[in-house]
Chain A
């Protein structure tokens, strides 16, 4: 079975985010690029499936990113994935979710897959729309927000997180899943993994190699950022003085009841 994990390269999540007022895009230069933290859960989920299924199961990393992102893709390989494919083309710059999902879908058809594993969102744009859009363009079932995933034969099963519980979901392969942070604890790449990653293959695809029938990049974007505004400052919390621990607990319980949280 071939599992493909989609990963995104994002500006370091610990650095301050800056937005260029002219282009209204996130400034990506001068900031260290890292693997999107949400995608580490997807890689871990794929590696655990591979370890469980054994046999000829492979994990391929896929990323739409400039070729300079190879170094970050190698981190995913160092965690234990078998190989990687990148879609790199200057013509993709400025793609919105629609264009990104479309271009990725065409590339993934070329790469081939039985199961695609995505993170739920990226830490830069945070739309959380890509996994759904990708499943749509690929014409495969999309099981999103899974906190558990398992493959049995040609069936993928999972538990889909909802606001007040979870749904048991099932689909036939080929399929796409996205996994949440509660699914696992991603492993660190080991030194052996790091040293071995340079021997693994990273293939690069360009737009010319794909059968595209619509424009992508900024020309093909269906959405446009018109304006930006700073997030409203959160109001100050309520301070209460409790006479002792028990009184404090009583006040907190009362407050939670008031908000219908208890």
Chain B
């Protein structure tokens, strides 16, 4: 057993730590307050190669592993969750489907610019009436004379409406299977497809700088070749995508908790009450010790899931365990971080207040805590 990171993993972590500290953290408050998409940070992350981190060089990526990807997301989230989810959704949800299921032509056309970070892409699974019940998709696509005609609505789609978004890959019912079930396929819908429209950005409690929209399809038309992978493979494909996505969202939760802990520790050392820094009081020391303990626990779970994926093992259970636990750890840690700040923690000028708002979605997005428990129970064979 070896807990030592490789030189590359360490170098990527320290690059992201530096970048997050020097470039992301100073702008996070403003982007959040204005709900402004961080175009400049995305461009800089693209220059560094982060936007295509785990994809092979031949597809415009950096060829790094999942452990490095998890470390990168953690470090960015430590400074700003909005920037981190923009990165994580771009890699895990926007780009990965092309990498896993795209044809050579589709990879050349879509994956290369995505990995280079000059274009963003959405993944449209959730619908207003199909959240955790994702298989119950209502969006339909009908093949007419070599054209997919799409009707339906998608909800909460990240990176779907920025100025550099190229389109969204959506799940849709494309017919019935032999046993009478809905046949689900993934279809590539470019931004300029006729009949495809995006709503304004949602007004959100957290992740305010990230781009999240509702998508509507009214007889939206794309060519037949825009099918991603085989017809009818959509259900299996999105499950695979969600399995990998859990690692990055779990890493985001750990990063957010690390950021809140950093702030709480700094504040506790500076804040003087009753004649000494509050870090000298056992009540505060115990809180900080518990926070560090939980972060370490969640971090190890995330890195183990990433390591299992890298070594070709079945990582589905580990990813679900990590996603569930780190989401809940992030809640406890940000909560205590605000508590340590006292009244100042309730003020927007302290980052912990933003982190508190950013945290809640970690227990909802990419499978709620409840759905994670369900996935885990099923994997246990119950």
Separation in Å of the A56 CB from the closest CB of chain B?
A: 26
* Nearest opposing residue in chain A for B49, CB measure: A191
Report the stretch among B9-17, B94-102, B127-135, B331-339 that lies at the interface: B9-17
Q: Which of B7, B19, B53, B57 contacts A188 (CB 8 A)?
A: B19
Using an 8 Å CB-CB cutoff, how does the interface string of B1-40 with A read, 1 for contact, 0 for none? 0000001101110110011000000000000000000000
Q: CB distance A75 to B14 under 8 Å?
A: yes
Using an 8 Å CB-CB cutoff, how does the interface string of A181-202 with B read, 1 for contact, 0 for none? 0000000111110110110000
**Cβ-Cβ contact count across A and B, 8 Å cutoff:** 46
Question: A254: CB under 8 A from chain B?
Answer: no
Q: CB distance B62 to A195 under 8 Å?
A: yes
Taken together as a complex, chains A and B put the C-alpha atoms of A70 and B63 apart, in Å, by: 22
Question: B170: CB under 8 A from chain A?
Answer: no
Question: B48: CB under 8 A from chain A?
Answer: yes
Taken together as a complex, chains A and B put the C-alpha atoms of A190 and B11 apart, in Å, by: 10
Number of A residues with CB within 8 Å of any CB on chain B: 14
Q: Which residues of A contact B63 (CB under 8 A)?
A: 195
Q: CB distance A194 to B8 under 8 Å?
A: yes
Contacts A191-B62, A192-B62; is A198 near B8 (CB within 8 Å)? yes
Taken together as a complex, chains A and B put the C-alpha atoms of A195 and B14 apart, in Å, by: 14
Taken together as a complex, chains A and B put the C-alpha atoms of A47 and B64 apart, in Å, by: 24
Separation in Å of the A70 CB from the closest CB of chain B?
A: 8
Question: A135: CB under 8 A from chain B?
Answer: no
Taken together as a complex, chains A and B put the C-alpha atoms of A108 and B230 apart, in Å, by: 61
Taken together as a complex, chains A and B put the C-alpha atoms of A74 and B11 apart, in Å, by: 8
Q: CB distance A192 to B57 under 8 Å?
A: yes
Question: B278: CB under 8 A from chain A?
Answer: no
Question: A93: CB under 8 A from chain B?
Answer: no
Q: CB distance B8 to A189 under 8 Å?
A: no
Q: CB distance A194 to B19 under 8 Å?
A: no
Question: A129: CB under 8 A from chain B?
Answer: no
Q: CB distance A190 to B48 under 8 Å?
A: yes
Question: B47: CB under 8 A from chain A?
Answer: yes
Q: CB distance B11 to A189 under 8 Å?
A: yes
Number of B residues with CB within 8 Å of any CB on chain A: 18
Taken together as a complex, chains A and B put the C-alpha atoms of A78 and B18 apart, in Å, by: 15
Question: B87: CB under 8 A from chain A?
Answer: no
Taken together as a complex, chains A and B put the C-alpha atoms of A74 and B8 apart, in Å, by: 9
Q: CB distance A190 to B49 under 8 Å?
A: yes
Q: CB distance B7 to A71 under 8 Å?
A: yes
* Nearest opposing residue in chain B for A74, CB measure: B7
Separation in Å of the A193 CB from the closest CB of chain B?
A: 8
Question: B50: CB under 8 A from chain A?
Answer: yes
Q: Which residues of B contact A189 (CB under 8 A)?
A: 11, 15
Q: Which residues of A contact B12 (CB under 8 A)?
A: 191, 194
Which residues of A189-217 are within 8 A (CB) of B? 189-192, 194-195, 197-198
Q: CB distance A192 to B7 under 8 Å?
A: no
* Nearest opposing residue in chain B for A78, CB measure: B11
Q: CB distance A191 to B7 under 8 Å?
A: no
* Nearest opposing residue in chain A for B61, CB measure: A191
Using an 8 Å CB-CB cutoff, how does the interface string of A8-27 with B read, 1 for contact, 0 for none? 00000000000000000000
Known A71-B7, A189-B11, A190-B62; 17 more pairs at CB < 8 Å: A70-B7, A71-B11, A74-B7, A75-B11, A188-B15, A189-B15, A190-B48, A191-B50, A191-B64, A192-B57, A194-B11, A194-B12, A194-B15, A195-B62, A197-B7, A197-B11, A198-B7
- 4 closest A-B pairs by beta carbon, nearest first, are A191-B49, A191-B62, A194-B11, A190-B49
Please report A residues at the B interface, Cβ cutoff 8 Å. 70-71, 74-75, 78, 188-192, 194-195, 197-198
27 contacts between A and B (CB under 8 A): A70-B7, A74-B7, A75-B11, A75-B14, A78-B11, A78-B15, A188-B15, A188-B19, A188-B48, A189-B11, A190-B47, A190-B48, A190-B49, A190-B62, A191-B48, A191-B50, A191-B64, A192-B49, A194-B15, A194-B62, A195-B8, A195-B62, A195-B64, A197-B7, A197-B8, A198-B7, A198-B8
